[in-house]
Amino acid sequence: MKNLENVSRGDQIRALTTSTLAFTVCFAVWTIFSIIGIKIKAELGLSDTQFGLLVATPILTGSLSRIFLGIWTDQYGGRIVYTLQMLTSALAAFFLTYASTYEMYLIGALGLGLAGGSFAVGIAYVSSWYPDEKQGTALGIFGAGNVGAAVTNFGAPILLVSLGGEWRSVVYVYAAVLAATAVLFFLFSKTDPTHSGEKQKARPFMEQLKPLKHLIVWRFSLYYFFVFGAYVALALWLPRYYVGAYGLELGTAGMLAAAYALPGAVFRALGGWLSDKFGARAIMYWTFIVTLICSIIMSYPATDYTVAGINGPIEFNITIPLWLFVTMTIILGFFMSLGKAAVYKHIPHYFPENVGSVGGIVGLIGGLGGFILPITFGVMNDHIGVWTSCFMLLSVIIAVSLIWMHFAILRAEKKSLPEKSKYLPELENINN
């Protein structure tokens, strides 16, 4: 049980500030392959499929480790687990610089991916300092640490140039910053109120998986697979996309990718506030409708047309101009940010006794989206040969999510208002 009687406002601000800054650094390290991966691709002559696997591998570790890190945080407290998690990730980043083969890079990426597990630790640590009625805003602010992806996309190319184009030097800097962050976090943070030195007993692992039997958990997971998983996937993929599809320099590509990643992180707190004010359902509708329109437009490949004109063939080309594409990515990032908050707003309403376990499962599957999608993007590039194929896939995912959500809502309304059922006969066999 939480005992917040002796927790001051200063303690809460200290916990939120230190955790958010640490999460920002961890997220920046977690997505570092979006930049150094391009250098490694050229160095080893990798295919797009191999590149996709390389940049996605840290996401896998970061996603899977959330379950165990969350349990350990419950047992030992966020302060010690967060510190050890950052130090371990920094050590893995350091050893990555000694890799020389593709297989070794993948192993190093698995270790570095532990940085992504910081989300589970930080969520548990921050929430322990706030009463239930204030956790939404606090966790929304903490979630803005996703801005670390923008920090990497913007700052890593600049750092790379300043260090003579040597990507290993960039990793050294990242490892040092992460290690320093771990030390500073331990020095300036305090042991959370739920731990006073004694070890807490964790709930049995299988008991925490019981909510998986509810189909609605998988529906929320699909939402998060897009709003978070696709967000991470595009943050990793866009620098490569800009270099390949538009022929940009890596530094410019990183800056434009950061323009996408930035709103995808900093407006998460706004998404929580809007969900409180207008309802999470309304925010999810807006998220899916707007992102579906954007992804459909972005999925249109550059096409040359020849029309049989009166005076001979008329040739013209339809290509999405760079300014429009960048604008669309910014809109995507903004609405993904709102959607991330709205998904987690649903969970306490449906699972008030299992917020932690359901939130962990949804976060895990969302994180797996960040692992699966970059690999899929690379496979589609290699086999379809169309740069915009990644947005074709995202359009399908969004459309399925929107349709499932809409019919689940109609079914729920039918249950609450049975007199309307005669107008909705198709809802008889729909499971929400």
Residues 338-388 pLDDT 10s? 998 888 777 766 766 665 567 767 878 888 888 899 899 989 988 998 999
Number of helices and strands in the chain (H, E): 19, 2
pLDDT value for 428:
43
Task: Please give the Cα distance from 184 to 21 (Å, whole number).
Answer: 10
pLDDT value for 133:
67
Residue with tokens 């998404």, as numbered in its chain = 271
Task: Please give the Cα distance from 246 to 418 (Å, whole number).
Answer: 54
379: in domain = yes
**Crossing angle of the two packed helices 102-112 and 78-96, in degrees rounded to 10:** 160
88: in domain = yes
Backbone angles phi, psi at 189, to 5 degrees: -90, 170
Binned at pLDDT 50, 70 and 90, residue 424 comes out as: very low
pLDDT value for 286:
95
158: in domain = yes
Q: Which domain holds residue 353?
A: 9-194+208-427
Residue 305 β-bridge partners: 316
In the predicted structure, residue 241 carries a pLDDT above the cut 60: yes
- Mean pLDDT: which of 65-74, 86-95, 267-276 is highest? 86-95
3: in domain = no
pLDDT value for 361:
78
202: in domain = no
Average pLDDT score over the chain: 84
Closest CA to 248 of 387, 348, 360: 387
Binned at pLDDT 50, 70 and 90, residue 19 comes out as: very high
For residues 32-45, give the mean pLDDT.
89
pLDDT value for 423:
38
What is the number of alpha carbons within 13 Å of residue 251 lying toward its C-beta?
6
Torsional class of 165: left (φ above 0), alpha (ψ -120 to 50), beta (otherwise): left
N- to C-terminal Cα separation, the chain: 33
Q: In this structure, is the dihedral angle defined by the CA atoms of residues 370, 263, 38 and 154, taken in order, positive or negative? A: negative
Task: Please give the Cα distance from 390 to 3 (Å, whole number).
Answer: 48
In the predicted structure, residue 125 carries a pLDDT above the cut 90: no
Neighbours of 403 (CB within 10 A): 11
Task: Please give the Cα distance from 85 to 82 (Å, whole number).
Answer: 5
pLDDT value for 353:
60
What amino acid is encoded at 411 in this protein?
R
1: in domain = no
Residue 76 in tokens: 């030992």
323: in domain = yes
In the predicted structure, residue 71 carries a pLDDT above the cut 50: yes
Task: Please give the Cα distance from 330 to 238 (Å, whole number).
Answer: 12
The string over 343-352, giving b where at least 16 C-beta atoms fall within 10 Å of a residue's C-beta and e elsewhere, is: bbbbbbeebe
In the predicted structure, residue 431 carries a pLDDT above the cut 60: no
Binned at pLDDT 50, 70 and 90, residue 420 comes out as: very low
For residues 391-403, give the mean pLDDT.
95
In the predicted structure, residue 324 carries a pLDDT above the cut 90: yes
Could you report the per-residue pLDDT of 187-235, keeping only the tens digit for each?
Answer: 998 887 776 545 455 556 666 666 667 788 888 889 999 998 999 899 8
Which segments within 219-352 are labelled E, that is strand? 303-309, 312-318
200: in domain = no
Check residue 201 and report its DSSP letter: P
Residue 243, burial from CB neighbour count under 10 angstroms (0-12, 13-18, 19+):
middle
Q: What is the CATH number of the domain that holds 273?
A: 1.20.1250.20
DSSP letters along 85-99, please? HHHHHHHHHHHHTT-
Residue 314 β-bridge partners: 307
| Number of domains the chain contains | 1
